[in-house]
C-alpha cells in the first residue's frame, strides 16, 4: 500500500498524512507516467541532435581544405540522425506516424535523406568531391544512379518499387545539378539545408501533438497529488512503508519542466502551455529552485 504524505519543505519539513492511499498497482502506473515523460524528452533531443548534425555539416568550409573522412563523418551523423527520428516516431506512443507520414510522403527532402541513408550509404558511397572556390560539397550524381540501378536489379520484388522510385528521383535531380566534364554533381549542403527546413516545420507539429496527447495528461496526473495548505502547495511523497519505494510528483514534474525550458526555451509554445497549466492550478512555487514558479519561466 502507498500512502501520500506532504510537507512544506522537502529537506527539513515535518511530514503530514493526507489520508490518501493507493494500492500496489500505483508503482506500475507511476513508472509508465515517468516513461512517458522520458519518451518526450528523447523526442525533443532527437530534433536537437538533427539540428546539431546539420549545423556541423553546413559549417564545413571546404575552401580551407578538409579531410574527406571528416566530411563523411558529418554526413553519416546527419543521415543516421534523421533516419533514427523516422524510426522512433513510427513506434512512439501516442502514435505520431499520422503526423510524420504526411511529411514523409509529401515533402521532397526529408524522405530523400531517409532513402539516401538506406539506399546509398549502405552501398559504401562516400563524398569525395568539393569546390575549393565555393566551399561547397558534392556527390557524383551519375555514380549514385549507377549504384541505385544495381540496387533495383538486386532488390526483391516487394522492395523494387521503392528502389525504382528513388532512382527516378536521382535522375530528375540531374536537371538542376552542376555539370563538370559531362558528370553531374549534387550539392549535399543544399540538400541538407532543404531537408532540415522540412524537419524544422515538422518538429513544431510533432511536438505539439505529442505534448497534447501524451505529456499534458501526465502533468495533470502529477498535479492531482499535490496538497494545498493555506493556499500554498506542499511537497508530496507517495511512500510504500514496507518496500520503502517513494515517488515524488513535485520533483518528477519540476525536473521535466526544467529540462523542457533548457531544451526549447521559455518562449516556446510548449513551455508556455506548461506555465499556463501550472498557473491555472495555482502551482506557484518551484521546490527544485526554491523560487516562485513565474521566475522559472523568465528568459
pLDDT of residue 87: 93
Q: Which residues contact 219 (CB under 8 A, 6 or more apart)?
A: 253, 256, 274, 277
Q: Give the number of domains in the chain.
A: 2
Domain match, 56 and 198 both: yes
pLDDT of residue 61: 78
Domain match, 157 and 231 both: no
Q: In this model, does residue 236 exceed pLDDT 70?
A: yes
Q: How many beta carbons lie within 10 A of that of residue 174, not counting itself?
A: 14
Domain match, 196 and 212 both: no
Domain match, 193 and 65 both: yes
In a domain, 45, yes or no: no
Domain match, 288 and 167 both: no
pLDDT tier at 130 (50, 70, 90 boundaries)?
A: low
pLDDT of residue 137: 83
In a domain, 46, yes or no: no
pLDDT tier at 151 (50, 70, 90 boundaries)?
A: confident
pLDDT tens string 180-217: 878 898 888 999 999 999 999 999 999 999 999 999 99
Domain match, 230 and 267 both: yes
Q: Are 274 and 264 in contact (CB under 8 A)?
A: no
173: cell is 535531380
Could you tell me which of 156, 150, 193, 154 has the C-alpha nearest to residue 170?
A: 150
185: cell is 554533381
14: cell is 515535518
Q: What's the CA angle centered on 83, arms 199 and 47, to 5 degrees?
A: 40
Domain match, 189 and 64 both: yes
Q: What is the mean pLDDT of the chain?
A: 90
- Which position has the higher pLDDT, 104 or 278? 278
| Range of 84-93, 97-106, 254-263, 290-299 with top mean pLDDT | 254-263
Domain match, 254 and 192 both: no
Domain match, 195 and 214 both: no
Q: Where are the alpha helices (DSSP H) in the chain?
A: 26-58, 68-90, 97-106, 109-119, 141-154, 157-173, 188-210, 216-223, 249-264, 269-280, 293-296
In a domain, 111, yes or no: yes
- CB burial readout 188-224, b (16+ within 10 A) else e: bbebbebbbebbeebbeebbebbbeebbeebbeebbe
User: Coil, strand, or helix at residue 260?
Assistant: helix
CA 15/CA 24 separation, integer angstroms: 22
Domain match, 246 and 129 both: no
Domain match, 22 and 105 both: no
Q: Could you tell me the residue range of the domain that residue 105 belongs to?
A: 52-202
CA 2/CA 6 separation, integer angstroms: 13
294 φ, ψ to 5°?
-55, -35
Amino acid at each position: 500500500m502507498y500512502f501520500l504524505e506532504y510537507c512544506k519543505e522537502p529537506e527539513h519539513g515535518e511530514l503530514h498524512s493526507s489520508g490518501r492511499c493507493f494500492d500496489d498497482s500505483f508503482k506500475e502506473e507511476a513508472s509508465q507516467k515517468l516513461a512517458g515523460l522520458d519518451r518526450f524528452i528523447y523526442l525533443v533531443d532527437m530534433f536537437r541532435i538533427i539540428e546539431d548534425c546539420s549545423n556541423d555539416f553546413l559549417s564545413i568550409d571546404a575552401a580551407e581544405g578538409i579531410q574527406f573522412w571528416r566530411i563523411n563523418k558529418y554526413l553519416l551523423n546527419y543521415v543516421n540522425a534523421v533516419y533514427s527520428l523516422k524510426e522512433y516516431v513510427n513506434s512512439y506512443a501516442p502514435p505520431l506516424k499520422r503526423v510524420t507520414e504526411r511529411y514523409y510522403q509529401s515533402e521532397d527532402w526529408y524522405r530523400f535523406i531517409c532513402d539516401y541513408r538506406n539506399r546509398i550509404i549502405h552501398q559504401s558511397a562516400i563524398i569525395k568531391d568539393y569546390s575549393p572556390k565555393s566551399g561547397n560539397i558534392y556527390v557524383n550524381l551519375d555514380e549514385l544512379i549507377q549504384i541505385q540501378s544495381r540496387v533495383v536489379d538486386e532488390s526483391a520484388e516487394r522492395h523494387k518499387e521503392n528502389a525504382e522510385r528513388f532512382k527516378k528521383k536521382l535522375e530528375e535531380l540531374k536537371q538542376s545539378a552542376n555539370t563538370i566534364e559531362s558528370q553531374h554533381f549534387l550539392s549535399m549542403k543544399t540538400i541538407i539545408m532543404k531537408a532540415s527546413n522540412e524537419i524544422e516545420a515538422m518538429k513544431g507539429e510533432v511536438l505539439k501533438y505529442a505534448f497534447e496527447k501524451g505529456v499534458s495528461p501526465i502533468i495533470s496526473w502529477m498535479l492531482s497529488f499535490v496538497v494545498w495548505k493555506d493556499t500554498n502547495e506542499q511537497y508530496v511523497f507517495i511512500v510504500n512503508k514496507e518496500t520503502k519505494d517513494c515517488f515524488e510528483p513535485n520533483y518528477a514534474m519540476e525536473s521535466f519542466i526544467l529540462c523542457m525550458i533548457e531544451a526549447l526555451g521559455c518562449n516556446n509554445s510548449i513551455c508556455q502551455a506548461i506555465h499556463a497549466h501550472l498557473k491555472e492550478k495555482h502551482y506557484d512555487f518551484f521546490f527544485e529552485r526554491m523560487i516562485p514558479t513565474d521566475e522559472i519561466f523568465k528568459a
